[in-house]
Structure 1
């Protein structure tokens, strides 16, 4: 395994966010496979994704991380790869999905995987998803280089939110929910007052109608 030069490990400037497209990630992988260095501001690191470390250790405190890793075959003569990792397994959710560029050319492929731990932790609020990008055999033939089982991976940490009455919310949302509840109660009170006023108004109208009827009766009496 060739090492990614240390300059690719440098952090981005404050306020700069690394958010490459799928085509860009595949281009980074192709540069690596050709033996070319990655841009100095590219925070893609080398990691043994299918080694003896779980994703919580590999990703650390980050929510999203990008890594180049080598796939490991179950057997030398087997085309299948081993997906175990420390105390768990990366379970495939999809097979190779083609990734096209703007011209419609297939640049590579993507697999979606989810980490499943062998240790059943009750009330676990954290999970990990991964997108694994790889190139086809035609890339190695075209560039006249031996086939290498390297992939570039995007790992994302998912933290489940707390629930209040079966509604998923974060702690910051609690104050907002209380405010909405108070607003609804205020609206209900105003609605009751408005309905009460309308009821009084209808009673006054009924009284006026009775008065008009009595006046008509009085007219009849005079005309007699």
Structure 2
């Protein structure tokens, strides 16, 4: 939860002084200056379980009555995800992922309709939690799609689809293409994307009549090269 919270703070509409703690009073002050801001709303819901439960009930009624707006769908997905995270993982217990899958459904719908970088981040983080379905790659694809929209499709393809490192744009070119107001978010999303490129994942396969096979999937050489390149871009942002 703390890692997710730190990521959400990056999306706040105001850059906070270094070392400034994000407490309820500060969030309420920011909310007054930026009414309806989604990252602020998310942090307020994360910090107040009573408010979180009220919002879940409110949006459940809206989606059940088919009266949910795009904003309702997004917020419903977010509060469901936060509620699920509040009780998981449970050590030495069978995990119930149904709440997470319901959150994913609404986050997916909201992201499809808004293409918001913040909603993309929350959807990617929700995918990352879905270990039984090994959705790390889906989460990575969402981050890639989000970055593509923020950087431009052509530039992102030059970064990710080239065969050799020498064919990629200079890190300085990529950094210079990012408008100053977006640099904070782009830098953070690139950092997360790079970490996920290097993540080793355990996959378990089961075929009828055969014992389960568990194997570790490691980053490919191309993924390692891309991660090394992104490290240079991040350093220049």
Q: Which TM-score band applies after superposition, normalised by the shorter structure?
A: under 0.3
Greater fraction of residues in helix: 2
Larger radius of gyration: 1
> Which structure's residues are more often strand, by fraction?
1
